[in-house]
Amino acid sequence: MVGLRIIDRYVFREVAASFLFCLAIFLLAGLIAGFLPLLQKGMEVGMGLTLILFQVLINALPGTLVTVLPLSITIGILLGLGRMAADNEIAAFKSSGISVLRLLPPVFVLGVIGFALSLTCTLILIPKGISEGRRLMHEALTKRVDAGIEERTFFDKLKNLILYVEKIDPGTGIMSRVFIQESSQPDEVTTILADKGKADPDPEGKSFILHLRNGTILREDRNGDSTGSLAFESYTFRYPLDQANLDKSPAFEEMSIAGIRERVKNVTQVKPTDSAEVLGYYQRVHTFARILIVQRFTYPLACLALALVAFPLGALNMGRSRLNNVSVGLVVIFAYYAFTLATERTARSGLAAPELVIPLPPLIFIGAAIYFVLCVAQERVPGIIRLAQHAILRIRRDSP
């Protein structure tokens, strides 16, 4: 019994070390890839670089973690067991009368740990991260609406407001030759032309304020007929942000499962006067909500399914190089996520219920893993693995 515990600890340390190494690399790569879009979006709404780095990026971390955990677990197991197989350590266990199945518990534990972490992210951390990131973006936008204003570019992010600036002094922020068209009133359109202007942040974040100098205010009705004009030397233009229709309601992605179901119930209440288009919209909302709920449980299952598949692949001796095992594993990972995308597309198109098709990839791969494990325990190489080995060897022979 003591010897078996030593084996468990040894195998777990081997695969866990490889897993942590892969996780660090994939997590860093994922954060770097996600940082550039966040940086651009944050700068557009006036966020500082420190805020983007230490708050917005950290809120995006759980989503990246869910993506890289299955990859890290799979490659970590393949590297750890592949090294043991290439060094004939697994063969030594077999010759000592220890079944290869005895090496499965440490691998299974690693998969369960990944599943628990991923499930925590999908159910709790990701919705909170999306909500907090959205709050920070909204807060920055209400305080620094002018951050998105660029020279010689029409600014139309606020409803019923168009702003055009010919030139902006980067040092002082003073705008030259300012054009504003505001159409929030139902029967009147206001056009303002000014030589100079400067945005002034509203401490309460309730208004977009521009201090204008030397200009003209033109008013006309919806038919284009003039209703008056006024020249000014100094004018303060205020645009209340509450009429800008800045969306403050939470999206499905940032809500709990109970919140999603409550929102769907409130949004899709069928009325006798609803048209076919409205009923179709209700159906799409229902489908999207069901897909999102199922994904929160099936995405974490990838850690467990791929860990179980990686065990027999890693335990096979595919040559002296452990990269042989990794090459086959990468093919398996590609197949898993291609299957996942296919099931999600099937659910979105309405061809099958999301609860039936989206869980298929992890369930089928777990079933295939059980078959592979039994084959390895009986000293048999599964036929599909032999085909993959031959394909990889042929590609390497044909490559220059």
pLDDT tens readout for residues 95-120 = 888 888 888 899 999 999 999 999 99
Give me the residue spans of the domains in the chain.
2-141+282-398, 160-243
Check if the beta carbon of residue 175 is closer than 8 Å to that of residue 197: yes
Could you tell me the pLDDT band of residue 3, with boundaries at 50, 70 and 90?
Answer: very low
- Measured N-to-C along each axis, helices 276-315 and 57-86 cross at an angle, to the nearest 10 degrees, of 30
Helix, strand and coil content of the chain, in percent to the nearest 5, comes to: 65, 15, 20
Residue 356 pLDDT exceeds 60: yes
Q: What is the pLDDT of residues 358-374, one digit of tens each?
A: 999 999 999 988 888 88
Identify the pLDDT of residue 389: 59
The residue type found at 348 is R
Tell me the per-residue pLDDT of 133-180, one tens digit each, with 9 for 90 and over.
777 666 666 555 556 677 888 877 777 888 888 888 877 878 899 898
| Assessment of whether the complete model's pTM goes beyond 0.95 | no
Q: Of 18, 5, 9, nearest to 307 (Cα)?
A: 18
Q: What is the mean pLDDT of the chain?
A: 81
Contact 380, 320 (CB under 8 A): no
What are 175's strand-pairing partners?
168, 197
Give the model's confidence band at 2: pLDDT under 50 very low, under 70 low, under 90 confident, else very high. Answer: very low
